[in-house]
Each structure stands twice: as C-alpha cells, then as structure tokens.
Structure 1
Amino acid sequence: MSETNASANDYPLSEVPMSARKGVWSTALVLLGFTFFTATMFAGGKIGTAFDFKTMLSVIAVGNLLLGLYAALLGYIAYRSGLNSVLMGRFCFGEVGSKLSDLVLGFTQIGWYAWGTATAAVVLGKFLGLPEGIVLLLMVVFGFGFCATACIGYRGLEILSYVAVPAMCGLLALSMWVATQKVGGLEGLLAIQPGNTMNYSMALTLVFGTFVSGATQATNWTRFARTGRIAVLANLVGFFVGNGLMVLVGAYGAIVYQQPDVVEVLFLQGFTLAAVAMLMLNLWSTQDNTIYNFAVAGCNLVRTDRRRIVTLAGAFIGTLLATLGMYDFLVPYLIILGTVIPPIGGVIAADFFYRHKGRYPILATASLPKFNWIGLSAYGMGVLAAFFSPWLAPVVGIGAAAFGYIMLYSLTNARVSLGARARA
C-alpha cells in the first residue's frame, strides 16, 4: 500500500509515522468524545443509590483511575509502536491467531453501535411522538449518518469532538448545578442516605468494567500521539476525567431525581430541546469512534486497507442489528464482553514489555507464526480467572493474562535452552 493511501485510510495495517502524529489537545478531545457516552451514566445511577456521597466519590475516583491507568499503559505501547491493539495482536497471538481478538473487539463495537443507533431513534421518536415505522426509518438514517465522520478518519473524529465535547461539558455542568441547588447544596448531598446496598469491590468492578472494552481499543487514537507523555495524559483525561464525569452525572441524577438517565434528568429540569441536542451530539461523538474501532479490527481481520468500505459495512451490520432489537439485549451482552475483553490488554502488555523488551520489530518485515500458543493460552487463563473471580473481575483478568504469558514464555524458553544443552 502506498504512503498516500495509507495516510488517507489512517494506516489500518501499518505503523503510524511520526509525520502523522498529533498533540495532547487533539488526542484528548477525541478520547473525550469517545468516553462521553450516555450508557455509562447508568452505572453511576446504580452507585448513586447504594452509597453515601463521600463513598460514592471514592468509588468513582478509584474505579476510573484504574481504568485510566490501564488505558494509559496500552496507550504508551501504541505510541512506542505506532500500532493499535488489533495489530499488536499479531505479535502476541500470531498472524491467524490474532483474528480472535479482531472478532472479539470488532463484535463488541458493532454491538455498541447498534445500541447507540437504536437509542437515538427511540428517544427522538418519543420526543416527537413518532410511529414505530418512522422510528425504524430513523434507525437507518442514524445508522449511516453517524459513520460519516468515521469515514473521513481521525480528522473527522477530531472536528466533531471540538464541537461536541465543550457543548456537552457546559450543559452537564449546568445540569449538575441545578441539581445541587435542588437538593440543598453540599449539605443536602451529604445528608442523603443510600436506599440500596452494594459492596465496594462490586461497585469498583461496575465502574471499571463499564468502558474497559473501549479502553482496550483506545490505541486506535493514541498510536497517533507525538510523545509517550501525550499518550498517557490523553488517556487519563479521556478515561479518568471523561468516563468519571459520565459516572458522576449518572450518580447525581439517581441521588437527586431518582433517575440515572441524563436525558430524562434534563427533561425534568426543563432543558428539553437541549437534552435532545445533547443526546444527538453525545451519541454521534461516541458512535463515530465506535464504528471506527470496528473498521480497524475489520481491516486486520480480512487484511484489507479499504477502511472506509469496512466502515460502511459495519454501519450496515449495526443498523440491521438495531432494527432487529439489539437495543433490548445489550446489557447481558456487555457483561459477558467485560469478562472476555480485558485479558487481551494483559497479554499485549506482557508480550510488549517482557518478550519484546519495549520495542516491536517493523510489522511488515516481522517473521510471525500463524498461532502464538503462549499468547492464546495466556488469554484463556485470563478469561477463566475473570469469569470465576468474585472481586474486580476485569482487573483480575488483565493480571492473570499478563502473569500467565510471562510464566508460559519463561517455561518455554527454559525448555528450549535445556533441549539445546542436551543436544550439545
């Protein structure tokens, strides 16, 4: 593929050169646009009714700090290598084995895309009192409309984020101020007692797991970072601050209005038109990132550089799933994916720092096996550990996968060394 075509398609199958790298403001805004997602607020709503205000703030801070550090670790690897998670998968899972991560990560994003498309159409349909047939038509319109900026590429995502992120921050700040006044200020918030119960570790799991699939694929944008500091800082801003704000807003709504859905809260506060406009911007700024993620995974899966065509194909699949009712089945689907996705990041980190000593060879010239059984086995260990863990399942999955990779790689090397000595 020529450099011109690679640049136009955002380097789907190769390293991002330093000439195409971005600064912290650009990278952080794109990641904020990705993490500003309405669904995240529901996690905050569950936490808001289960803890007092101080404990709730502690859960949100710790959970999102863990998420931000995980994203920052992968972001640093993306900066150093110029690769995203699916291309890193070739090193730790093998040329053919990496298709496993392509399918897992790609299918996750298409599920999110279907949910977001359906949500936009359903909410707008309720607001305007539209019949079901028109709502289905709106799903088609939104399904292909949301992918427009993703077809442009990183620059399209960046431009939308410049508009959407400041507008959403301003509206959310206004909403939280109104809610605080309604409840009687800080004293009123501190006086509220929780109506439900949830243990602390479960709450941390909920916060961390809400967007860990997105954190695993944030490398799609941090590979464009100009320095390691930019990659780390942008991820902390996007996931610790951005995702943390979404959880906090949901918790606020649950505490004051008994409603974690920020759109419903804005309706109750009298900001009806602003609520609809914010929802559209909120979903669009996440949807284009989501379908971009799918396209990157799809390009690696079928080994094509035609990212825009894969983007449109993903929009078609997501729109079809939306019209078929994916909206109603997303929650259990995401709970499962919260278990199977994080170990991918653990394997990537162990492979990069332990096996490759912090520097991958050039992908186009690297000699890679069809299957890296060490990486695939370590991934399986991580999934099992996460599935059976009673505490912070995503974190346990990441740690178990990383430890399993290091252990298996060391044992394999030791066996090879012993065999060589025996033959000598």
Structure 2
Amino acid sequence: MTAHPNAHPDSHPIPQEQDYPLSPVPMDQRKSVWSMGLILLGFTFFTATMWAGGSVGVSFDFTTMLLVLAVGNLLLGLYAAALGYIAAKTGLNTALMSRFTFGELGSKLSDVILGFTQIGWYAWGTATMAILLVKLTGLPESLTTPLMVLFGFGFCVTAFIGYRGLEWLSRIAVPAMIILVAVSMSIATDAAGGLSGLLAITPTDDMTVAAAITLVFGTFVSGGTQATNWTRFAKSGRTAVIATLLAFFLGNGLMTLIGAFGALVYQQADIVDIMVAQGLATLGILMLFLNLWTTQDNTVYNFAVAGCNLLRTRRRKMVTVAGAAIGTLLAVMGMYEWLIPFLVLLGTFIPPIGGVIMASYFVGYRQRYPDVTTATLPAFNAPGLAAYVIGSAVAYTSPWIAPIVGVLVAATAYSAILVVSQAVRERRAQVLGAL
C-alpha cells in the first residue's frame, strides 16, 4: 500500500498504541467506515443531547418538531463531515490542523478551548453516573464521592487503550443501546395512543425555530469539531463523510428525537427517567452506563489529543490519565453544577475554529497541507487568529443560529483575508518589477 502523501518517513515507527498524536495516521493503519461509524455513534449517544431534544419536543407540534430536528442535525452532520473529509485526506486531527491555521503557538489557543470543553463534559458525565446510580438504586449518599472516583478513572480505560479500546466498547454498547431505545420508544408510542395520539399533542412551551435549530446544532458542535480524532483514521474522504453523517445526522438525530419523544409523552427528556417511568429501571441503569461510558471515553480521548499538541508530547496515555484525574476532581468539587452553562457558551466560540480550518485547507493550502512534522510555521498566524476573533464576535452577538453564523463568518473572513493578501502581494511584485 502506498504511503499517504502527508505521511512522514518517521511516522511508522511511532508506537501504534499512542495513536499518532503528533503526526499523520499512516495509510496502513486506516480503518473501515464500519469501525469509525461505531465509535462515532457511541460518541454521539449522549444523555445531554436528549435534554436538548426535550426542550424542542415541548415547543412545537409533532411535524414541526421532526423538521427542526432534521434540519439541526443535518447542519451539524455536514459541518462535522467537512472537517472529517479534511482529516481523512491529511491524516491529521483538529489540534494538528490548527497549527497551519493559527500558527505553532497560536494553535495552543484551540487546544485549551477544545481540551477544557471536553474535560468539562467528562466531569459532568462522571458526576451524573454516580449521582443517578445512588438515586436509582437507593445506595447511601455517602457513596457518591467514591463512585465518582471509581467512574472517573474507570471510564478512561478504553480511551487509555486508544482507538482499539474505543472500537471494542462501541461494538458491544452501540447495538445494545439501539435495542434498548427501540423497546422503550415502542412502549412510549403505545402510551401516547399511537401516531394519531402523538399528532394530537399540543406544545406546552414556546421557542422560535431559529433558537431550536441553534440548540440542536450547538449542543454537540464541540464534539463535531473534534470528530477528526477518529476520521483521520478513515481510508478515504468518502469513508470519513459517510461515517460522520451516520453518527452526527442519524445518531445525534436519534438522541434528540428520543428526548423530544419522551418530553411529549412523559414530560421527561432523559431516556433513563423514561425507562424508570415505564417500569424498566434495571434497563434504564444499563442504558445510562453504556450511554455515558461510550461518550466519556471519547471526551477524555479528545482531551488527550488536544493536550498532546499543547504540550508537544507523544505520551497520549499519560495525558489521558491526567485528564481523567482532572475531570474526576472537577466532579468531586461540584463544578459540574455550574460548568454546563459555560460549556454551552463555548459552543459559540468553538465552531469558528472549524470554519477557519476549512478555509485554510480549501482556500489557503488548496487541499494539500505540507508535512506537519517538518513544516516551518510561524509562531502566530495573524490572518487565522483575526478570522477566528471576527467569527466568534459575530456569533456571540448574532440573534440568528450562532454556531452556524460563527462557522460561515470565520471561513468567509479568512478566505477574504487570504485573497486580499495575495492580490496585494501580486500588485506589489508588479510595481517592483516595473521599477
């Protein structure tokens, strides 16, 4: 098999279990759409996504709700797929691509933003598992903190192993979760009186379509921005696009639909609460465990990849354990209670990173990055950083769909800066030539 055009000659000797944190993934280590699709589905099967769907479910009639969920998740899927395509073509993840976009030192900005967001979600998931397990089983509340420590380090085992560990877990957990969801939703449909009963349910809350799409798109956009950690293993750009759309359009769409469905029928958005209401408490606990584990190991893996780029170290396993320790500490300290609103706010500032990367790859480098392991890059790429600030500022003040606005404005701003800069250089060369 021929080497990837961006693969460095020294990239093959890097231990495979470290998952190439600072170099392109060689072509002989690429994975199938089935392998990546399972991992990404496990990542998008996330409890918090259901809550977003629940907010949408009580605000619209059944038909409009389905349309909103379809549009929001399709936009999310297309965004993640575009980054996934670049990752497959280059073998690089978002952290490494950021070096070309923001510079050697400037890329550390994205490392901090992306890494902190993921470890924040890890803290929330760890605390949620411990608290709900105590609540659902009647265990003494004094066990909550020890359980947080247990789950905090336990969830990171598959991420510590690497891609193979994530895939192994997803092969078991994803089919099991799909079966559990199918059983629960079948019971919910009967409880609502079938399709006619669902169509007869009237909204109890009020939300604009733009706000609903923003909620659906924004809840998991940070994950979509870092899905490149797995799509860089794709055998082709097509494979990456298919796997990403499968996960972020269909997988995330299913989670938001479950939340909306549950909110309509049971006034509960979380699948665990729904199953408890249906008398399926044991299955609900199993669903919670699988749901959180398949997302937790992915989030701490994301943190490790961003951390490796930040610290310029190949010791991904060590950074993974450190991330689990930080997330566990945050959970025990109770920071998860106020962390989620801040993490949702970061959903406004994360998408512009993806927008600038897209413009950098397609416009700036014309779909071919130089070798990241040998390229000489500036400490700070001023145009990329300026475009990111512009995109973030416009998104933050936008009354429309903020994450999408951030992506489009950041990409447009960077493209415009590149085109104008090139025109100025060409004009200057003409003037000097005439002299």
Does the alignment reach a TM-score above 0.5?
yes
Given that 2:188 and 2:265 are in contact with CA atoms closer than 8 Å, whether structure 1 keeps it comes out as yes
Alpha-carbon distance in structure 1 between the residues aligned to 2:14 and 2:330: 31
Aligned-pair distance for 1:2?
A: 6.5
The answer to whether residue 165 in structure 2 is matched with residue 156 in structure 1 is: yes
1:121-150 residue CA offsets vs partner (Å, 9 max, x unmatched): 001111232333310011001000000000
Alpha-carbon distance in structure 2 between the residues aligned to 1:130 and 1:179: 29
The answer to whether residue 17 in structure 2 is matched with residue 8 in structure 1 is: yes
| Aligned residue in 1 for 2:305 | 296
Alpha-carbon distance in structure 1 between the residues aligned to 2:275 and 2:104: 49
SS in 2 for 1:110: helix
Alpha-carbon distance in structure 1 between the residues aligned to 2:194 and 2:11: 59
| Aligned residue in 2 for 1:347 | 356
| Aligned residue in 1 for 2:84 | 75
TM-score by length of 2: 0.96
| Aligned residue in 1 for 2:251 | 242
Decide which of 402, 423, 427 is 1:393's aligned counterpart: 402
Give matches, 1:230-309, under 5 Å: 230-309=239-318
| Aligned residue in 1 for 2:379 | 370
1:309-356 residue CA offsets vs partner (Å, 9 max, x unmatched): 000000000000000112211331122111000000000000000011
TM-score by length of 1: 0.98
Stretch moving more, 187-196 or 322-331:
322-331
1:16-71 residue CA offsets vs partner (Å, 9 max, x unmatched): 01100001100100000000001100001111100000000000111000000001
Given that 1:105 and 1:294 are in contact with CA atoms closer than 8 Å, whether structure 2 keeps it comes out as yes
The answer to whether residue 186 in structure 2 is matched with residue 186 in structure 1 is: no
Give matches, 1:20-419, under 5 Å: 20-419=29-428
Alignment-mate amino acid for residue 212 of structure 2: A
1:172-195 residue CA offsets vs partner (Å, 9 max, x unmatched): 011110000011000000011101
1:104-137 residue CA offsets vs partner (Å, 9 max, x unmatched): 0000000000000000000111123233331001
Alpha-carbon distance in structure 1 between the residues aligned to 2:409 and 2:325: 36
Using the aligned pairs only, state the percent identity.
62
Alignment-mate amino acid for residue 140 of structure 1: V
Alignment-mate amino acid for residue 412 of structure 2: F
Alpha-carbon distance in structure 2 between the residues aligned to 1:331 and 1:86: 23
SS in 2 for 1:411: helix
Alpha-carbon distance in structure 1 between the residues aligned to 2:57 and 2:262: 8
Alignment-mate amino acid for residue 304 of structure 2: A
Aligned-pair distance for 1:262?
A: 1.2
Alpha-carbon distance in structure 2 between the residues aligned to 1:315 and 1:305: 17
Given that 2:11 and 2:24 are in contact with CA atoms closer than 8 Å, whether structure 1 keeps it comes out as no
Alignment-mate amino acid for residue 189 of structure 2: T
Aligned-pair distance for 1:378?
A: 0.3
Structure 2, unmatched stretches of 5+, are: 1-9
Aligned-pair distance for 1:197?
A: 1.0
Given that 2:12 and 2:26 are in contact with CA atoms closer than 8 Å, whether structure 1 keeps it comes out as no
Aligned-pair distance for 1:409?
A: 1.2
Aligned-pair distance for 1:359?
A: 1.1
Given that 2:11 and 2:23 are in contact with CA atoms closer than 8 Å, whether structure 1 keeps it comes out as no
